[in-house]
């Protein structure tokens, strides 16, 4: 009995987050979040107080994208609806934000409690996992599950609803159950590795190509594989483009970076896609930005290869001729290490031609910007 330690559910929640390596959370302080805030202070987790729940959600998303680490957005039951737009944005960008929301009391569920709604059902289409805590002593278990789901496969937001009576009630932090204990330490994301036969098949397609292209997507970013992408492009002399809706993977000064794969923001990419015979997209989605993999962006004569870290994303990329289940970083590692004895057949000056296009496109953009700046200056003088 001497090892019993009764603490509030909110404090147990904070300890569970600390065990996962969470260093800071974004919230609108006060109200039903107070027990959790008490625990966060005890655990030394930084609390960024925001003027609105939607701001807290978007800041969590932004911080997660920059650091590539899961971040927590904590809101009370009265602020759940305000967090929905941030959930939508995090879902679209595959951002592993852990949304923890207070909810009406578990004891009087279904009786018209304070701000009682089915928050779990509302958040389900916008998250990889949406669940309500049903037992205060199992809070660490729910946090562990949400954390692992957020970072594994394709990363994405998760939602955990904690009834306010469990937040304020006291539980034995050292309670022992007749169950196998689980490791509460932070775990790394589960990664899929490419099969050798799939690598050989893709390599053969690249060897036969004359005008190959690489398109890097959000999966490359979440794998921390930008440098590997650049190394593969340099080693194989294949031009690299970036999907238009995510962080830029390579520097503008990179020899292999040719710009955005976007016909509106960067027209030269449309010409390259129209001429290319093999396009390999790594860690990206054939969504509306990519015209769902269809012509005219991707001609039917082009061999389209998609590499993704989850079966769910591969299913969305069904328009591809060849799909491969692999973490983008693991795939690029394996491709770089594969010894190629044959000569690369990249066509006559294909790589250099894309560099010329890139330079021409940059000069035209600079000329347009300079012209507009001069026009604005003339208008200012006239006024």
Are the CB atoms for 212 and 237 separated by under 8 Å? no
What are the structure tokens assigned to 22, written together?
A: 């969470």
Residues forming CATH 3.40.50.970 domain(s) in the chain: 6-172
Task: Enter the tokens of residue 255.
Answer: 């020899």
Query: Using one digit for the tens of pLDDT, what is the confidence trace for 171-229?
Result: 887 776 666 777 777 777 878 899 989 998 998 888 889 999 999 999 999 999 999 99
Average pLDDT estimate for 276-282: 96
E strand or H helix at 178, and its extent? none
- What span, in angstroms and rounded, lies between the C-alpha atoms of 274 and 276? 6
Distance of alpha carbon 287 from alpha carbon 215, whole angstroms = 14
Tell me which of 4-8, 163-167, 223-227, 313-317 is least confident.
4-8
359: confidence class by pLDDT, cuts 50, 70, 90: confident
Q: Which fold has domain 6-172?
A: Rossmann fold (3.40.50)
Q: H or E element: which one contains 81? A: helix 80-92
Task: Say whether 195 sits in a helix, a strand or coil.
Answer: coil
Q: What is the pLDDT of residue 11?
A: 96
Mean pLDDT of the chain: 87
Taking the model in full, what pTM does it have? 0.87
Domain range 196-368, CATH class: alpha beta
Query: 365 is written with which tokens?
Result: 């953009």
Q: Are strands 257-260 and 158-163 parallel, antiparallel or unpaired?
A: unpaired
H helices of the chain, in order, are 9-19, 34-43, 53-67, 80-92, 119-123, 139-151, 164-168, 196-208, 218-222, 226-236, 268-275, 311-316, 328-337, 350-382
Percentage of the chain beyond pLDDT 90 is 60
Domain with CATH 3.40.50.1220 in the chain: 196-368
pLDDT above 60: residue 148: yes
* Token couple for 122: 């509302």
Sign of the C-alpha dihedral, residues 157, 95, 190, 316? positive
Predicted local confidence at residue 173, as pLDDT: 78
Q: Retrieve residue 116's tokens.
A: 């009682």
Give CA–CA dist 151/21, Å, rounded. 13
Angle 119-69-185 (CA atoms, 0-180°, nearest 5)? 85
Question: In a 3-state reduction of DSSP, which class is residue 211?
Answer: coil
How far apart CA 91 and CA 156 sit, in angstroms, is 6
| Backbone φ, ψ for residue 67 (5° rounding) | -85, -20
pLDDT at 379: 63
């Amino acid at each position: 009995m001497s090892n019993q330690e009764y603490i509030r559910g909110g404090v147990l929640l904070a300890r569970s987050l600390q065990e996962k390596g969470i260093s800071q959370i974004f919230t609108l302080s006060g109200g039903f979040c107070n027990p959790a805030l008490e625990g966060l202070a005890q655990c030394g987790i930084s609390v960024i107080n925001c003027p609105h729940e939607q701001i807290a959600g978007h800041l969590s998303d932004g911080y997660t994208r920059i650091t590539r680490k899961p971040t927590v957005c904590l809101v009370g039951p009265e602020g759940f609806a305000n967090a929905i737009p941030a959930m939508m944005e995090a879902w679209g960008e595959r951002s592993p934000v852990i949304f923890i929301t207070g909810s009406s009391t578990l004891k009087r569920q279904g009786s018209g409690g304070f701000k009682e709604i089915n928050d779990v059902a509302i958040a389900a289409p916008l998250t990889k996992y949406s669940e309500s805590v049903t037992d205060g002593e199992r809070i660490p278990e729910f946090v562990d599950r949400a954390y692992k789901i957020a970072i594994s496969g394709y990363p994405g937001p998760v939602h955990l609803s904690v009834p306010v009576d469990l937040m304020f009630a006291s539980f034995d932090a050292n309670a022992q159950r007749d169950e196998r204990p689980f490791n509460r330490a932070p775990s790394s994301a589960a990664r899929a590795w490419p099969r050798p036969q799939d690598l050989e098949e893709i390599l053969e397609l690249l060897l036969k190509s004359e005008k190959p292209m690489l398109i890097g997507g959000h999966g490359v970013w979440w794998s921390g594989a930008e440098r590997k992408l650049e190394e593969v492009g340099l080693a194989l002399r294949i031009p690299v483009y970036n999907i238009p809706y995510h962080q830029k993977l390579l520097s503008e000064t990179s020899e292999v970076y040719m710009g955005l794969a976007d016909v509106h923001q960067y027209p030269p990419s449309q010409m390259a896609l129209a001429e290319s015979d093999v396009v390999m997209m790594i860690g990206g989605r054939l969504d509306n930005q990519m015209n769902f993999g269809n012509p005219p962006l991707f001609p039917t004569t082009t061999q389209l290869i998609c590499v993704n870290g989850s079966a769910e994303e591969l299913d969305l990329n069904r328009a591809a001729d060849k799909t491969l289940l692999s973490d983008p970083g693991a795939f690029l590692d394996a491709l770089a290490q594969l010894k190629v004895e044959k000569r690369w057949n990249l066509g006559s000056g294909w790589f250099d031609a894309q560099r010329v296009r890139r330079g021409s496109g940059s000069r035209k953009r600079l000329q347009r910007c300079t012209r507009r700046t001069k026009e604005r200056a003339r208008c200012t003088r006239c006024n």
